[in-house]
């Protein structure tokens, strides 16, 4: 996709606040006809600028009250080692985010758990069983200050 213009940015700002808005309402808010808005939206979706639509569900409402930041070191950073770890970590349902890092640790994960006992289970059954893991360092979030689903536009 070519560079985003002001209208594209307006569409994205509105959708970040309300992904369920009708095309007619979106078009009205950004100053386009519904057909022009629909065409632009289609381009933004097909080009990957909009990667999906979802409901942001409260973890606490589902009884996941504990967030754990987990730093993981592997035995090496060979392509096979990384790909085996990444394939396995994707299977753990409690892992919300996983980043390959530079620096002291190879990966940082954000893990949702119901309580300390649940984290012990995740640590024992999932994290410790991940391939090539040599060190796990866990930090427990005391309070969430901000969790933005999107970057500001």
131: its two tokens: 């391939």
34: its two tokens: 């519904």
> Alpha-carbon dihedral of residues 19, 21, 22, 26, nearest 10 degrees?
-100
Contact, 138 vs 69, CB < 8 A?
Answer: yes
**Residue-level pLDDT at 79:** 97
pLDDT tens for the 153 residues of the chain, in order: 679 999 999 999 999 999 999 999 999 999 999 999 999 999 999 999 999 998 888 899 999 999 999 999 999 999 999 999 999 999 999 999 999 999 999 999 999 999 999 999 999 999 999 999 999 999 999 999 998 888 887
113: its two tokens: 């758990």
Give 37's Cβ-side CA count (13 Å radius).
19
Rg of the chain over CA atoms, in angstroms?
20
Q: Give which of 1, 30, 37, 3 is closest to 14, Cα–Cα.
A: 30
Q: What is the pTM of this model?
A: 0.83
């Amino acid at each position: 996709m070519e560079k985003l213009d002001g209208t594209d940015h307006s569409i994205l700002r509105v959708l970040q606040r309300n992904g369920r808005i009708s095309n007619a309402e979106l078009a009205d808010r950004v100053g386009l006809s519904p057909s022009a808005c629909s065409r632009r939206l289609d381009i933004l979706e097909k080009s990957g600028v909009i990667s999906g639509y979802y409901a942001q569900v409260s973890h606490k409402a589902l009884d996941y009250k504990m967030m754990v930041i987990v730093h993981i070191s592997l035995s090496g950073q060979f392509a096979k080692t990384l790909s085996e770890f990444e394939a396995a970590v994707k299977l753990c349902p409690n892992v919300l985010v996983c980043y390959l890092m530079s620096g002291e640790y190879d990966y940082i994960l954000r893990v949702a758990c119901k309580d300390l006992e649940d984290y012990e289970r995740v640590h024992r059954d999932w994290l410790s069983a991940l391939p090539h893991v040599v060190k796990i360092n866990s930090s427990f979030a005391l309070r969430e200050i901000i969790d933005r689903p999107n970057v500001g536009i």
